[in-house]
Structure 1
Amino acid sequence: MLRTLLDDRAFIRARMTVVAVTAAMVVAACAPASTGEADAVGDAPLPAPSSTATPAPTPALDATAAPSPAALGTASAAARELTVKGRAPKTGYAREQFGDGWVDVDRNGCDTRNDMLRLRLTDRVMSGDCKVLEGSLADPFTNASLRFVHGGASEVDVDHLVALSDAWQKGAATWEFAKRVAFANDPLNLEPVDAGANRAKGDGDAATWLPPHQDYRCDYVARQVAVKEKYDVWITAAELDAMLRVLDGCPGHELPEPGDQPVMADNVGRAPDAVPTPPTTPAPTTTGGDALDPDMGTCKAATAAGFGPYAQGEDPEYGYYRDGDNDGQVCE
């Protein structure tokens, strides 16, 4: 009886040992692999996880996340970021405020005008490496084919897409001279175009003039936005409305790259003479007590100071100046 009991106890102990060993093996098999050196059994690394393991689910995108860089790079988005202000007076503007003609800002030995003609014209006839004598242009403003002839009745102008006078009235009047020279010679702001269309544009912005070739309007307005963003030129409310009307027709149109030219030129040519200060003597008055504008000596000085025009028989200031074309108006 005693022997049977001892045998039973030995059997139970043996069973418990087997269970314990089995449990230990199961725990070891289920334990996660170490993120440091490999766990070892006899210095052998554990097998790598199977490549067919189910990956962790990707978190859902936040609907309020910032737009992609491409969305931020549209001309329409950039236009909305431009400063909107009223147009300042044209007082003091002259072409010379933007440099003495065309300047070789990039110092490649050629002036900017010939750089642009070389870039855009085909079938060119050259004099040396820089000067373009003749060439053909696919005009973006009118979609016509034009012929450029140096020194002849040329049909091609190099247009400032953002006119210099427009920039002057929207910030450039306060710039350093070197910045105005860079602006006037920046390829981003230049395009050889039909001379007639360019002169019809004058110094108009997008609110007053757009290219007759409608397929070019998105490119044209996008370039204007890029120029105004690069140089921090403001726009009027009417101009913004006109820009957005064009860009609404091409909502994904990308903003052009600003280009390599810096906004401050180090090759500026000759700075213009200072604009003369108007006389400070009190202006005469009429018998009715209304103040008259000062006599500036010439209409050029008067218009530069913001005076005029004057009509014969209506404005006493008419008598200050010579009516060269006898149309009854001066300083118009």
Structure 2
Amino acid sequence: MSAPFDPYRPLDPSTLDPLRPGHAPRSTTGMVTLAVVGGLGALLALVGALTSGAGGALVALGLTLLVLGLGSVLVGRSGWALLASRRLGGGVLAAGLVLLVVGGNLLPTPEPVPAAALTAPSPSATPTSTAAPTTPVDPVVALVAGASDGSALAALGTLEVKGRAPRTGYDRDVFGQAWADVDRNGCDTRNDVLARDLTAATVKPGTQGCLVLSGTLADPYTATTIAFVRGEGTSEAVQVDHVVALSDAWQKGAQGWDLTTRTAFANDPLNLLATDGPTNAAKGDGDAATWLPPSRAFRCAYVARQVSVKARYGLWVTDAERVAVAGVLSGCADEAVVTDAVALGEGAAHQQAAREADARAVAAQRSATTTRAPAPAPTTQAAPVRTTPAAAPVAPPAAAPGGVYYKSCTEARAAGAAPVRRGQPGYSSRLDRDGDGIGCE
């Protein structure tokens, strides 16, 4: 049986409740923790004072008290911080808030940054130009600006750039007679070009070296070799191409020319090349923006010749054409303009030799006629007088098979019948000047 409680008996420390506040001695660990927290608070206050003055120190101290008070309110007590109740912790929390507000008001206000300073370059940055923005440089203009004198690129820069005019009114006849003898050498332009561009060419005797019968073409468009033989079904293997097509010229300035200028343009050797027939047909009237030779090795020379022709005659180019030509010439900037396309080749030499041989034969015939001895005088018997009958009227050319007759190649082309071949309706020898069996070619 336990002894009765004596209120006057001394207390035994071992019977005290360690959880009741105020009865247990403060532990060493709590003192250390309080010292660490206090030291951190003091350090924060020092840093705040150095960086922001008194306001920074008060803010740091307020944050420290705020943490201590908040911890005491949540836990109930913080013996290590000398806070024995929630009420005391709330007071510490309120003091921390007050210090935060006061310190925040004491913090220095940052000066507003001028708008100009926001865009100003840093001292280490490379200074930039303040000039007004310029229009981007046209790459073609930049390419032409660096071109050397006499080059096709430099000539391209002289051509006017405009849109394509309507094709209305175009017809082959607006460029005069096809393959006219504009140089008055006795040969039509087609045979002149064949003689210039073919090698091992042969010409028909008695034609003053004009009619080319055969030869070999090193075709620039396809980089192939083509055997040319004049005749029905074979002549078309080699055609003479207008490098700047007549229709293209019509839409880019030729409409304003007179007939003499158009005829000269259509027969200018600078604008003519003997080429593979099917390839020429595929080209049609395309310019450099829509057609280039299959042989890439010839494209620089091809567009240089187009530029040369357009510069000579004042034709313009479209913007797409200008870009296409510049794109080709960018890989061969030193490609020169073409100024002389009539230099004699092997074929032309054959033509010239045949012409000279024909001239010698005619001269010899005339010489024999003038040196012939006069006929002996008649004897006493007078020669009978002969009456020369009147010349019979010349009948018009017989109508071709089928009853079709064309007065000229112009009429045949207007009817859509050109070229007219031997044996076809409308063919006659007067339409076939070179006698190859193909009229109005």
Which structure 2 residues correspond to residues 289-304 of structure 1 after superposition, within 5 A? none
Name the SS for the 1:81 alignment partner: coil
Per-residue CA distance 1:90-110 (angstroms, 9 max, x = gap): 111011111121111110010
SS in 1 for 2:274: strand
| Structure 1 residue aligned with 2:251 | 169
Q: C-alpha displacement at 1:151, in angstroms?
A: 2.1
**What's the % identity of the aligned pairs?**
55
2:314 partner letter: D
Alignment length (residue pairs):
200
- The counterpart of 1:230, out of the listed 306, 312, 321, is 312
Deviation, structure 1 residue 149: 1.6
Q: Which amino acid aligns with 1:214?
A: R
1:121 aligns with 2:198: yes
Q: Which residue of 2 aligns with 1:109?
A: 186
Matches within 5 A, 1:10-49: none
What does 1:133-282 correspond to in 2, within 5 Å? 133-152=213-232, 153-154=234-235, 155-257=237-339
SS at match of 2:148: helix
CA distance in 2, matches of 1:258, 1:164: 20
Greater Rg over alpha carbons, structure: 2
Cα distance per residue 1:54-73 (max 9 Å; x no partner): xxxxxxxxxxxxxxxx9221
- Contact residue 99 and residue 181 of structure 1 kept, 8 A: yes
Q: Distance in 1 between matches of 2:195 and 2:184?
A: 16
In structure 1, runs of 5+ residues without a counterpart are: 1-69, 261-269, 274-299, 301-332
Q: Distance in 2 between matches of 1:156 and 1:119?
A: 13
Partner AA of 1:177 in structure 2: L
SS for the counterpart of 2:183 is: coil
Write the letter of the residue equivalent to 1:138.
A
Which residue of structure 2 lines up, in the alignment, with residue 78 of structure 1?
155
Match of 1:304 in 2: none
Aligned-partner SS, 2:334: coil
Instruction: Give the counterpart letter for 1:187 in structure 2.
Output: P
Per-residue CA distance 1:237-263 (angstroms, 9 max, x = gap): 000000000000101111111668xxx
CA distance, structure 1, for counterparts of residue 260 and residue 220 of structure 2 = 30
Is the CA contact 1:227–1:258 (under 8 Å) kept in the aligned structure 2?
no
Alignment partner, residue 10 of structure 1: none
> Of 63, 87, 94, which residue of structure 1 is paired with 2:171?
94
For the Cα contact (< 8 Å) 1:74–1:255, is it kept in 2?
yes
Residues 18-48 of structure 1, C-alpha deviations (whole Å, 9 max, x = no match) = xxxxxxxxxxxxxxxxxxxxxxxxxxxxxxx
For 1:148, the aligned partner's letter is F
Larger fraction in helix: 2
Q: CA-atom RMSD, angstroms?
A: 2.7
| SS of equivalent to 1:125 | strand
Q: Distance in 2 between matches of 1:81 and 1:88?
A: 20
* Aligned amino acid, residue 102 of structure 1: W
How many angstroms does 1:163 deviate by?
0.1
How many Å separate the matches in 2 of 1:259 and 1:113? 14
Aligned-partner SS, 1:107: coil
State the SS of the aligned residue for 2:315.
coil
Shift of 1:117: 0.4
Secondary structure in 1 matching 2:226: strand
Q: Aligned AA for 1:84? A: V
- Is the contact between residue 80 and residue 240 of structure 1 (CA under 8 Å) also seen in structure 2? no
| Structure 1 moving runs of 4+ over 6 Å | none
Contact 1:223 1:255 in 2 (8 A): yes
Amino acid at match of 1:97: V
Name 1:131's counterpart in structure 2: 211
In structure 1, what is the Cα distance between the partners aligned to 2:212 and 2:255?
33
Determine helix, strand or coil for the equivalent of 1:182.
Answer: helix
In structure 2, distance between residues paired with 1:237 and 1:120: 32
Q: Is the 8 A contact 1:159 1:191 kept in 2?
A: yes
Structure 2 counterpart of 1:257, which letter? T
Render the CA deviation track for 1:229-282: whole Å, top value 9, x for unaligned: 00011110000000000000101111111668xxxxxxxxx9x89xxxxxxxxx
Q: State how far apart, in whole Å, the 2-side matches of 1:227 and 1:258 are.
A: 11
Distance 2:297 2:157 in 1: 22
Relative to the length of structure 1, the TM-score reads 0.57
Cα distance in 2 between the residues matched to 1:180 and 1:186:
10
> How far did residue 173 of structure 1 move?
1.1
Q: Provide Cα deviations, 1:146-205, integer angstroms capped at 9, x if missing partner.
A: 011212323100000000000000011110000000000000000000001101100000
Higher relative contact order (CA 8 A, sep 6+): 1
Q: State the distance in 2 between where 1:180 and 1:101 align.
A: 11
Rounded to whole Å, the distance in 2 between the matches of 1:239 and 1:150 is 36
